[in-house]
Structure 1
Amino acid sequence: MKSSLVQIHELNGGYFQASYINPITNKRKRRRFMTKKEAESFRAETEQKLHAQNYGDFLEVPVGILIERHLRDYPQSKLKDRANVFTSFYEEFSKLKLNQVTKVELQKWFERIRGENNYSDKTLSSIRSQINWFFKMLVEERLIEESPLDKIKFKRIAPPRRPRIVLSIDEVNQLLENAKFFSPEGLYPFLSTVAHTGIRRSEALNLTRTDIDFSTRLIHIRKSKNGRERFIVMSPTIESVLKEYLYKNESHVLFQNEHGTKLNSNKELSRLIDKFKAYFPMDKNWGCHSLRHSFAYNFLKKG
C-alpha cells in the first residue's frame, strides 16, 4: 500500500492534525482541523498538488531563499553575471514573497537602475535576460505559471541618446561655488567629489568614512558598475573638501540627507539637484553624468 504524503493524527481534545513535508523548504508543515473530515479533505487537495508538482501554493519563504537555492542548484545560471545588478536585484526583492515580485515592481526597479546608471534600453534588455534565468527556472519547476518579465520589453535599437553635456573648468568651478552657497554640508561635498574624481553617482553615494584614506590619499570604490573594486587618487582640492566635511560630520555613511541617513539617489538627490538648478540656472542642462564626462574631458585637455 502506497504511503500517504500527508499524515493525519488525532490530537487531545478531539482535534486532528495534518502534516506534510513542504517541497520547497523540506521542512514539515502542520495544520490543525476541528474534524477528521476537514483534515482528510485537506489531505486530498494537498496530495493532488504534490503529485502534480504544482508547488506554487507551498511558497512560504522569501525570494532571497529561492535565489540562494537557484544559485546552488543551477551553477550555470547567469543571474550573477553583472555583480552590481545582481546585488541591486537581491537587495530590492530578497525579503518579499514571490507573488509580490510583480511586473509593476520589476518595472519600477528597472527605471530606478536606469536613472542611477544611465542605462540604455539595450543594456536593460541584457539585464532582463540575466534576471530571467531565475524566473525561467521557477517556471520549469512549476513554482510560477509564467515569468513576470515576459511582459516587460525594451527596444533593442534604442533611440539616440541626448548629446553629452561637457562643462568647462570655469563652468565646473562656478557650479561648485554656487553649490557651496546653496548646500555647503550636503550637495557641495557630493558634487565636488564627483567633479574632482569622475566617479559615478551611485559609486559616490555608496562611499563610507572608511573608504577615504587621507594617509594614502586614496578613495576606495567598493561598489562599481562592473562589481569590481578600485582605488582613486584624491587631488589636493577634493582632499581638502573631504577633510573639512568629515571633520564636521561623524556619520559612517559619507553623504547624508538632512536626517543624517544615507542620501537616496533616485529621490532625494535628484530633488535636491533640481532645486539647486532652479536657484542657479545654467545654459547647459547638466547632471551628475555631465560632471563625470567633464572630469575626463578636462583631464585629457590638460594633458
Structure 2
Amino acid sequence: MKWEARLIHINGESRIGVVFEKNPDTIARIRALKGSRWSYDLRIWHLPDTEEYRIRFRLKLKNELLPSEEGFQAIEKFKKYLRSKRYSENTLKTYAEALRSFLVFYNTKPITSITNEDVITYNNEYIIKNRLSASFQNQIVNAIKLFFRTIQNKEIDPELIHRPKREKKLPNVLSKEEVKQILEAPINIKHRAMLSLIYACGLRRSELLNLTLNDIDSKRNVLIIRQSKGKKDRIVPFTGKVLTLMRTYYSFYKPSYWLFEGQGKGEKYSEQSLQSVLKQSLEKTKITKPVTLHWLRHSYATHLLESGTDLRYIQELLGHNSSRTTEIYTHVSTKSLQQIKSPFDDL
C-alpha cells in the first residue's frame, strides 16, 4: 500500500492522518487498524497518535532524538548484514526500525558498553511505559539479540530479557460447508481457482502468488512450493477436483509465467487484489465471520486432522519447522469432542 502520513489535529486531539490511493483493499486495511476513523470534514483517514503508529508510518517520534553517529553506522551495517543473509525487505525494515528505537534511547552511551541491564531498562522505561504492544516488544528483543550477536559479536542473554507472555489464541476454523460456500461464490474462474488452491493445498497467501507454471507436476500429481517461509521447498498432493479446476482455469487464461497473473501479461497477481477476491466472495455468502485468507489454511489443516491424517504428515504439508506449531490444530478439531457425552444428557 502506497501512503503518505502526517500529523493532524481534530477537536484538539493529535492524530496521524494517512493519505492513500482510494480502493476497497486499502480502505479495509486502514479500517482494520485499532482506533482508525474517517474525517468527513478533512476527507482523510486518521489514527491515534501513538509511538507504535509513528514507527509504523515512519513519522518522527514524540520528543525524538537521533541515534549517535556510531548508532547510524551500526544500523547501516546491520541492514547490510540482513540483506546479505537474504532477509525479506519487510523483516529488514522492522528490525532496522526496532534497533534504531533502541539506539536512540541510548544515544549518549557507547554501543560496546551496552549490557543486558540496559536492555531490561529500555524494556521497562520505554516499551512498557509507552504501552507498546507485546508483538512490538518481541520484535525489539529479536532485533537487539541478532544485532549484538552478529554485528557486535556479543551475546545478550535471552533469559535476562523480559519478553511478554505469548497470547495463546486458537486458529480460526471454518466448517466444510462454509468453505464450500466461499469457494463456490466467485463466478470468475480465476478467482475460484485461487481460493480453491489455498484451501486444497493449505497455502499461505504469498505461496499462492509466487507459484509459477513449472510448480505444477501433473504427472506426479504434486504441487511444488519453492522457497517459502524459512527458505524451504516442500511438495503437497495435487489431484482430483483441484487439478481439473486448474486445467479449466488454464484453458481460459493461459498464463505465461506466474500461475496467477495480474492485469498485464507476465505480471504477478497482487496481494491486495487477492484480498479483494475473498471479500467479494464473502459478500455473496451468508457468512458474517471476519474471515481472512489464512482461515482457509487453518481449515485445511483441521479438516485433515479430523479425517484421520497423522499430525506428522500435516506438519510436512504445512511446512512447519516444529511439531508444536502443528499441534495447535488438535485444540480446534471437533472429532474427539463429538465423542464426549455431556452429563446434562443423562439428567
Q: 2:281 aligns with which of 270, 276, 282?
A: 276
Q: 2:214 aligns with which of 191, 210, 214?
A: 210
Q: 2:194 aligns with which of 182, 190, 195?
A: 190
Given residue 188 of structure 1, which amino acid in structure 2 is its aligned partner?
R
Deviation at 1:192, TM superposition (A): 0.5
Residue pair 1:213, 1:219 contacting (<8 A) in 2 also: yes
Distance 2:277 2:260 in 1: 13
SS in 1 for 2:256: coil
Match of 1:157 in 2: 165
Distance 2:91 2:171 in 1: 32
Distance 2:72 2:307 in 1: 64
Q: Deviations over 1:184-229 (max 9, x none)?
A: 22x2111110111112222212211111111111111113223221
**Is the aligned partner of 1:258 residue 2:253?**
no
Over 3 Å counting, the alpha-carbon distance change for 1:55 and 1:171 in structure 2 is closer
Deviation at 1:268, TM superposition (A): 2.8
> Which structure is richer in relative contact order (CA contacts within 8 A, separation 6 or more)?
1
Give the greater-gyration-radius structure (CA).
Answer: 1
Q: Deviations over 1:226-257 (max 9, x none)?
A: 32211111121111122222332223112233
Residue pair 1:220, 1:229 contacting (<8 A) in 2 also: yes
Over 3 Å counting, the alpha-carbon distance change for 1:62 and 1:164 in structure 2 is closer
Residue pair 2:185, 2:284 contacting (<8 A) in 1 also: no
Distance 1:296 1:90 in 2: 27
SS in 1 for 2:195: helix
Match of 1:169 in 2: 176
TM-score under structure 2 length normalisation: 0.46
Q: 2:244 aligns with which of 232, 240, 247?
A: 240
Distance 2:79 2:291 in 1: 38
Match of 2:290 in 1: 285
SS in 2 for 1:274: helix
Residue pair 1:165, 1:284 contacting (<8 A) in 2 also: no
Coordinate RMSD, CA, aligned = 4.2
SS in 2 for 1:220: strand
Residue pair 2:222, 2:239 contacting (<8 A) in 1 also: no
Residue pair 1:206, 1:223 contacting (<8 A) in 2 also: no
Distance 2:71 2:194 in 1: 46
Which runs of 5 or more structure 1 residues have no equivalent in the other structure? 1-52, 72-79, 104-120, 142-153
**Is the aligned partner of 1:228 residue 2:224?**
no
Over 3 Å counting, the alpha-carbon distance change for 1:89 and 1:170 in structure 2 is closer
Over 3 Å counting, the alpha-carbon distance change for 1:155 and 1:204 in structure 2 is farther
Distance 1:133 1:297 in 2: 35
SS in 2 for 1:172: helix
Q: Deviations over 1:130-170 (max 9, x none)?
A: 444675589969xxxxxxxxxxxx97235564x53322223
Residue pair 1:67, 1:134 contacting (<8 A) in 2 also: no
Calculate percent identity across the aligned residue pairs.
23
SS in 1 for 2:178: helix
Distance 1:91 1:158 in 2: 23
